[in-house]
Amino acid sequence: MIAEVVAAMKQSISDAQMIAPRLDWALFLDIDGTLLDIAPRPEDVKVPRTLPPTLAKIAERLGGALALASGRTLAEIDWLMAPLRPTCLAEHGAVLRYPSGATAIANADRAVPARWGIELGAAVRSWPGVLVEKKAYGLAIHFRLAPEREDDVRELVAAVAQDPANFEVLPARMAFEIRHRGLTKAAAVESFMPHPPFAGRTPVFVGDDVTDEDGFRAAKARGGLGLNVKEAFDGEPAKVRRWLETFAASKAH
């Protein structure tokens, strides 16, 4: 009997389409792999024309308590979501934009050493399809266009990123991310939830990979939900978007 109850609970959590949207939520959304389908290169992603207005409608219904949380830069987020300028966390927490539009930026010592980017870029020149994405604070090395290079890229990143006390290497979707240990997506929940319009709401964090797990834990620590796209939406951003469209149009309570 207990096993049946546990199985039913898992099914209800794994089928997020069945989770009734609530107007007392504070909604935190990853971008790549959650709102948008992964592309061979980060700049190649396609933004459905209905997505920004859907997010705007949900933000309105939640009194503004919607935020994006991404490893992308703030400029990239604004480019992708135009004309929206959403409350957001960029570069895994290095940059925060509050509902007021004010921004908070991490100290420079949390940026990945510039020499690592130079070394990685030089090393992969002879590996067609392997791309080094340099950001102000972090690095991502993509091998989606050269999946046979996964082990080579893993070994290369481990050899270059030699400061385990301060920086970590995380597996992403056909990529590896290097970030400071003090920068995580948990900052979206921890920084925004104490303040209006997020305060007093139930945090719900939706994401798809390892870098989102900190956000899941932060949301759950405040009595909320962490929805993994792989489990809750069969790994399909299109299903996330349909769920959001339903939310925008529903009579949530």
Give the model confidence (pLDDT) of 87-121 as tens digits: 999 999 999 999 999 999 999 999 999 999 999 99
CA distances from 130 to 40, 140, 150, 185 (A): 10, 10, 9, 26
Please list the residues that pair with 142 across neighbouring strands.
131, 175
Which runs of E-coded beta strand occur in 125-166? 131-134, 139-142
Hey, where are the domains in the chain?
A: 2-106+183-249, 110-180
Please give the order of strands across the beta sheet that includes 175-180: 131-134, 139-142, 175-180, 167-172
Question: For residue 9, is pLDDT > 70?
Answer: no
CA-to-CA distance for 221 and 228, rounded, in angstroms? Answer: 16
Q: Is the domain covering 2-106+183-249 a CATH 1.10.260.40 domain? A: no
Question: Is 212 one of the annotated active-site residues of the chain?
Answer: no
Give 13's pLDDT tier (boundaries 50, 70, 90): very low
Q: Is the pTM of this model over 0.75?
A: yes
Which of 30, 208, 212, 214 is flagged as catalytic? Answer: 30
Residue 217's φ and ψ, nearest 5 degrees, are: -65, -40
Stretch 52-68: mean pLDDT? 97
Q: How confident is the model at residue 41 (pLDDT cuts 50, 70, 90)?
A: confident
- Burial state string for 59-76 with b = 16 or more CB within 10 A and e = fewer than 16: bebbeebbbbbbbbbbeb
Quote the CATH superfamily of domain 110-180.
Trehalose-6-phosphate phosphatase related protein; domain 2 (3.30.70.1020)
Which pLDDT tens digit goes with each residue over 155-208? 999 999 999 999 999 998 899 999 999 999 999 999 999 999 999 999 999 999
DSSP 8-state assignment for residue 113? P
252 pLDDT band, cuts 50/70/90, is low
The pLDDT value given to residue 6: 34
Amino acid 7: pLDDT: 42
Q: Which tops the pLDDT comparison, 203 or 10?
A: 203
